[in-house]
Structure 1
Amino acid sequence: MKIVIAGGTGFIGNKLIDLFLQEGHEVIVLTRKVRPSSNNLSYVVWLEDNTSPEKEIGNADVFINLAGVSINDGRWTEKHQKQIYDSRMVATYELLRIISEMPQKPSVFINASAIGIYPVSLNNVYTEDSTDMPDDFLGRTVHDWEKKAKRAEEFGIRTVFMRFGVVLGNDGGALPLMALPYKLFAGGTVGSGKQWVSWIHVVDVVRAILFAVRSERLRGPVNVTAPFPLRMKEFGKTIGSVLGRPHWIPAPSIAMRMALGQKSKLVLEGQKVLPKVLLEKGFDFEFPKLESALRDLLT
């Protein structure tokens, strides 16, 4: 297959490229910087003046959109929130424009999304069937992002929204910061400890994307989370256990809010999200439980 990836130079994108190349596919990465191509991997400049990436792409079988300013970088000032939102809208609009210019459309459009589309809750359980939506920055951003990407269906393209949970990896994502206090013998419960962490190993993220590409009947929202989420207290205890470190110094909510501002919601609030669609379609998680995922990443 010929696969186009926007946002392919990030934490998830790099691993996804490696997987596709191992599978023998041709990969085109849309990027703002000129990069050298090699074997089945090439780079095409986009979102710059006087560029027409559709001319270099030609036809393609798959489009994958991972593009957007990271929600983990910097404080959530009004300016940064605008950058997070606008980057997703602009990138998705440009991908749709590129597709509109292609005589032969791709068969599938995979768009990144997030479980932030579900409200925070200590008691509710969310699947792809859930329709409640929070009235906050993340909820609005994800809702509008999916709405924009859904326009790919107007071209007759199967469209999938991969709603990522807390992605765990040892060279990006949330885990390095979560594990650091434990490595310094200062780990403990964050906030109340009752908030849910719907996590997933990055290996299962890229495997789930490949699964979505191959599953011709899969469309719409897909929760990309492990089947066994944990509350924050148990999550932290498991990190401590795997690293052989104590879980004892708490990080109060007020301290987290002072340190992170609005972004503290990412660690102080959460939701219990289950991957109903992946399980029903027969996806086999390599790391369904947290301890095995952390042992793979931290030891």
Structure 2
Amino acid sequence: MKIAIVGATGFVGSRLVERLQAQGHQIVILTRSLQQARNRFPQAQVVGYNPLESGEWQESLSGCDAVVNLAGEPIAEKRWTPEQKRTILESRQIGTQKIVEAIAAASVKPSVLINASAIGYYGTSETAKFDENSPAGTDFLAEVCTKWEAAATAVTATGTRLVIVRLGIVLGENGGALGKMLAPFSAFVGGPIGSGKQWFSWVHRDDVVKLIIQAITDTQMQGVYNATAPNPVTMASFAQTLGTVMNRPSWLPVPNFALEAMLGEGAIVVLQGQQVVPNHTLGQNFEFEYPTLQPALKAILG
């Protein structure tokens, strides 16, 4: 198959490209980092693009069998100034609109669009449990996800099948949330972030990739699927399990004010959580390679 991937140099996208190429698929990468993508994936077709503007890049989607859109400004890297909030939203909403626009104009349309979203859609809670049928929350991230998904839903008017993958906290080697937590644990000063009571709805990166690949090939899949392991944990439990796997203590909590000093309102991403379960995903006969946390961490950390 010929598969276009937007966000291919990211934490999930790079592993997806590796797996698809190993299966013999032809990959088209749409990226703003041309040289980085060419160096990393020399066998792929690399197309430069501006996610916020129409252009010649849109022609590259014509003739593709599938499009996977994973692109978006990182959520928890910078303070949420009004400008950063606008960047977070526009990178997803307008970026997706431009992909849908390209699919609508394609002479040979892709049969499926796999579009990322996030479990931020549900808002935050220490007590509620959310699945794919739960309503949207009311905070900033919920608003972003709602508009992101609405932009993607427009593709159904073209006859293209749509699968929305709501990503949990993706764990894997060399990056992501786990990569930021390893250093303090290695230095024997690791511990839970915030109260420790907040939910941590995690997923192994390989299971995300597996779900996306299944969504590409399984024509029965459409609609929303949570990419979260079926056994979410609290932050305290996550930190304790990580300490056990690393043979390190988990005793020094990171206080709320420290994160809020660095990230401001953006600290909500890790200080508040949600318990999310993948009922629709499991109902699609998807089998998680890592349904529980400790084996997942052992596989990642070797």
Q: TM-score, normalised by structure 2?
A: 0.94
Q: Which runs of 5+ in 2 are unaligned?
A: none
Match of 2:123 in 1: 119
**Once the 2 structures are TM-superposed, how far is the Cα of residue 50 of structure 1 from its aligned partner?**
8.8
Match of 2:298 in 1: 295
**Once the 2 structures are TM-superposed, how far is the Cα of residue 256 of structure 1 from its aligned partner?**
2.6
Match of 1:174 in 2: 177
**1:186-265 equivalences in 2 (<5 Å):** 186-265=189-268
Q: C-alpha distance in 1, partners of 2:50/2:189?
A: 44
Match of 2:13 in 1: 13
Contact 2:113 2:163 survives alignment (8 Å)? yes
* Identity score, percent: 39
Task: Select 1:286's aligned residue among 282, 286, 289.
Answer: 289
Contact 1:45 1:51 survives alignment (8 Å)? no
Bigger shift: 179-188 or 238-247? 179-188
Match of 1:110 in 2: 114
Q: TM-score, normalised by structure 1?
A: 0.94
Q: C-alpha distance in 1, partners of 2:281/2:62?
A: 32
Q: C-alpha distance in 1, partners of 2:55/2:158?
A: 23
Note closer, same or farther for the CA distance 1:24–1:71 as it changes in structure 2 (3 Å cut): same
Note closer, same or farther for the CA distance 1:75–1:150 as it changes in structure 2 (3 Å cut): same
Contact 1:118 1:271 survives alignment (8 Å)? yes
Task: Select 1:153's aligned residue among 149, 156, 175.
Answer: 156
SS in 2 for 1:135: coil
Note closer, same or farther for the CA distance 1:144–1:58 as it changes in structure 2 (3 Å cut): closer
Q: C-alpha distance in 2, partners of 1:164/1:54?
A: 26
Q: C-alpha distance in 1, partners of 2:202/2:255?
A: 22
Bigger shift: 238-247 or 65-74? 65-74
Q: Deviations over 1:51-109 (max 9, x none)?
A: 41244444111011111111132222221111111111221121112112212211111
**1:6-155 equivalences in 2 (<5 Å):** 6-35=6-35, 36=38, 41-47=44-50, 51-131=55-135, 133-155=136-158
SS in 2 for 1:174: helix
Contact 1:188 1:250 survives alignment (8 Å)? yes
**Once the 2 structures are TM-superposed, how far is the Cα of residue 252 of structure 1 from its aligned partner?**
2.2
SS in 2 for 1:109: strand
Q: C-alpha distance in 2, partners of 1:50/1:215?
A: 30
Q: C-alpha distance in 2, partners of 1:118/1:208?
A: 20
Q: Deviations over 1:182-207 (max 9, x none)?
A: 11111123221111000001111111
Contact 1:25 1:40 survives alignment (8 Å)? no
Give the counterpart letter for 2:285 in structure 1. G
Note closer, same or farther for the CA distance 1:119–1:33 as it changes in structure 2 (3 Å cut): closer
Give the counterpart letter for 1:130 in structure 2. S
Q: C-alpha distance in 2, partners of 1:98/1:50?
A: 8
